[in-house]
Chain A
């Protein structure tokens, strides 16, 4: 009886050798540290771009639609041209043949363009169906 009790106490003090598990855990830790690359803080500018169609076709479509609904509402296209300088930056933004912005697109120039566009779209009588943006080839 006495011998049995002593035997049980010896079994209870058995300890697992953790060194092997620790080695493995360190290897896993090394792997995760080496492959750690935090995701960059990026945003997205969403665009819904239908396939390009030729200008003549678009105008024919628009005239057809206008004829069906209201005869006096036709198609108005807002022309926006972006000229580039030698370095590929913005030199000038031309809105309907009049330059709106001259120089790089800094905060002040963006606001000027925004004001100008708001002024144009703020007029209720003018219905622009589309905007045509012509961008110089070397613009970056």
Chain B
């Protein structure tokens, strides 16, 4: 009987489980859901005066990634700029109408442009112009605050 009992020795898993739960909690807290909308392969320009955007509880801005060839990426997909902005503007108008906000020509929502540092200016300007025609007025250009050391 005593031999049988000694065969069934089991390790105490409780501390291990505690530690794993702590790790899960850590990774849950630092998870970045916005990462899906960002194209992290872009090389942004470096600008020391760039500051984090203060949205003050406004609606979620439209985020556009522009690669070095001027292609516009939204949530990892290459999109045509004109249909994309038309669709976004239509959805935004519907959203504002549903929220009871007055239908103005200018949107209270900004556009965040994450443009590669190698993109020619005229391609970036074209994207801004399309957004302006749709009714967007507030723009912000993303930049790294310091040079990456990678």
Say yes or no: A43 contacts B51, CB within 8 Å. Answer: yes
Size category of the binding interface on chain B:
35 or more
Supply 17 further A-B pairs (C-beta < 8 A) apart from A39-B34, A135-B121. A22-B13, A26-B20, A28-B24, A29-B27, A36-B31, A41-B144, A43-B143, A44-B142, A45-B49, A45-B142, A46-B139, A47-B141, A49-B138, A51-B133, A135-B125, A136-B121, A139-B120
Q: Which residue from B122, B138, B146 sits with its C-beta under 8 Å from A46?
A: B138
A52-B132 CB under 8 A given contacts A22-B20, A44-B140? yes
- The distance in angstroms between the C-alpha atoms of A22 and B118, with both chains bound, is 48
Residues on B close to A: CB < 8 A?
13-14, 16-17, 20-21, 23-24, 27-28, 30-32, 34-35, 38, 40, 44, 47, 49-53, 110, 112, 114, 117-122, 125, 128-129, 132-133, 137-146
Residues on A close to B: CB < 8 A?
18-19, 21-22, 25-26, 28-29, 32-33, 35-52, 88, 135-140
Kindly list chain B residues whose C-beta atoms are within 8 Å of the C-beta of A28.
24
Report B147 CB to chain A, min CB distance, Å: 11
Kindly list chain A residues whose C-beta atoms are within 8 Å of the C-beta of B16.
22
Say yes or no: A33 contacts B13, CB within 8 Å. Answer: no
In the complex, residue of chain A having the shortest beta-carbon distance to the beta carbon of B21: A25
A19-B138 CB under 8 A given contacts A32-B24, A49-B132? no
- The distance in angstroms between the C-alpha atoms of A33 and B125, with both chains bound, is 39
Report B50 CB to chain A, min CB distance, Å: 3
Report A111 CB to chain B, min CB distance, Å: 12
- The distance in angstroms between the C-alpha atoms of A33 and B30, with both chains bound, is 11
Say yes or no: B24 contacts A22, CB within 8 Å. Answer: no
Kindly list chain A residues whose C-beta atoms are within 8 Å of the C-beta of B145.
41-43
- The distance in angstroms between the C-alpha atoms of A67 and B34, with both chains bound, is 51
Report A86 CB to chain B, min CB distance, Å: 13
- The distance in angstroms between the C-alpha atoms of A41 and B46, with both chains bound, is 11
Report A24 CB to chain B, min CB distance, Å: 10
In the complex, residue of chain A having the shortest beta-carbon distance to the beta carbon of B139: A47
Say yes or no: B117 contacts A140, CB within 8 Å. Answer: yes
- The distance in angstroms between the C-alpha atoms of A47 and B125, with both chains bound, is 13
Report A16 CB to chain B, min CB distance, Å: 10
Kindly list chain A residues whose C-beta atoms are within 8 Å of the C-beta of B141.
44-45, 47
- The distance in angstroms between the C-alpha atoms of A25 and B25, with both chains bound, is 11
Among A21, A41, A44, A46, the most chain B Cβ lie within 10 Å of the Cβ of A44
- The distance in angstroms between the C-alpha atoms of A39 and B38, with both chains bound, is 9
